[in-house]
Amino acid sequence: MAQRPQPSPPPDRPRTAAAVRGWLPLVVMVAALAAALAGGLHHALTLQALADHHDRLTGLVGRHPLLAALVFGIGYAVAVAISLPGATLFSLAAGVMFGVVAGVGLVIVAATLGAIAVFLAARSALRPMLERRISGDRRARLARMEAGFRRNAFSYLLFLRLMPVFPFVLVNIAPAIFGMSGRAYALATLIGIAPGALIYVSIGAGLGDLLAAGQVPSWSDLMSTEILAGLSGLAVLALLPALVSHVRAWRRGRACLPPPASPSSDPTLPSSDPAPPASDPARRRP
């Protein structure tokens, strides 16, 4: 009697659905960035545009301060989440529109929320893909890199946040790939963003009269060497805890090493003790 063919096993729907949910936030962010770039939104984020709309923006803040702050904060958070170029201009605009105190608060909160969104999206999509694709020696090397990063993840992220040469989007994604905890990431981001926010919002607050008169400064005038050097110095200071941790680990490792063997205890070396005198056979009695 012929046997009936066995039905094929059903697809792993829960795993597929989980993968789709994991990739969905990142896909939405990439699509939003592509739409913004296709629409030329990044070309509108210029100092000239800020000068052209200065009176309208400040008037809006004067009439509806809470609404203006809410719209600005959401727009800045979305811009950070989709990695839209022009984050520095948002910080300057916050100073022009809201002043130093309120502007710094808005920039720190909005930029932190946007960075957390990128971190969560990368952790749900990129990290599982990396774990599935890497195996063998590469997985072992990745595990060692993750362990080294996690030991001083807070200091490393502070360094990356404060150093003005690292792209903001890469700083948001790298901790997610290396398995940094969300709480430590959020706190380090909040602290690391604060110095730069204070500097650029303060600069923006001082540009109000200049922009109102129709004068537009250049980026080279705003990005002075002193500002970059100051942020770089803070970044180096943020690495001090990691350096101290490495020095302590090195000292503990040296303390665990066995003491060097003395020459007398080494069987391969000739003994330094004098040999006993040989007995004279002639003096022996029969």
pLDDT in tens, 89-125: 899 999 999 999 999 999 999 999 999 999 999 998 8
* Per-residue pLDDT at 133: 74
Q: Say how far apart CA 174 and CA 177 lie, in whole Å.
A: 5
* Per-residue pLDDT at 134: 73
Q: How many beta carbons lie within 10 A of that of residue 105, not counting itself? A: 16
Per residue in 146-185, is it b (16+ CB within 10 Å) or e — as a string? eeebbebbbbbbbbbbbbbeeebbebbbbbbbbbbeeeeb
Q: How many beta carbons lie within 10 A of that of residue 206, not counting itself? A: 13
Helical H runs in 134-224? 137-151, 153-162, 168-177, 182-205, 208-212, 219-222
Number of H helices, E strands in the chain: 14, 0
Is residue 12 pLDDT above 80, yes or no?
no
Average pLDDT over residues 198-227: 77
Is residue 37 pLDDT above 70, yes or no?
yes
Q: How many beta carbons lie within 10 A of that of residue 90, not counting itself? A: 26
Q: How many CA atoms lie within 13 A of 264 on its CB side?
A: 3
* Per-residue pLDDT at 165: 77
* Per-residue pLDDT at 276: 54
- Cβ-Cβ contacts under 8 Å for 111 (sequence gap 6 or more): 76, 77, 80, 87, 189, 193, 197
Q: What are phi and psi of 95, to 5 degrees?
A: -70, -40
Is residue 15 pLDDT above 60, yes or no?
yes
Give the confidence band of 162 by pLDDT, cuts at 50, 70, 90: confident
* Per-residue pLDDT at 79: 93
Q: Say how far apart CA 200 and CA 213 lie, in whole Å.
A: 20
Ranges 89-103, 125-139, 149-163: which has the least confidence: 125-139
Give the confidence band of 249 by pLDDT, cuts at 50, 70, 90: low
Cβ contact 185:155 at 8 Å: no
Q: Say how far apart CA 154 and CA 147 lie, in whole Å.
A: 13
Q: Say how far apart CA 48 and CA 185 lie, in whole Å.
A: 35
Q: What are phi and psi of 208, to 5 degrees?
A: -55, -50
Output Rg (C-alpha) for the chain, integer angstroms. 31
Q: Where do the structural domains in the chain lie, given as residue ranges?
A: 21-131+148-249
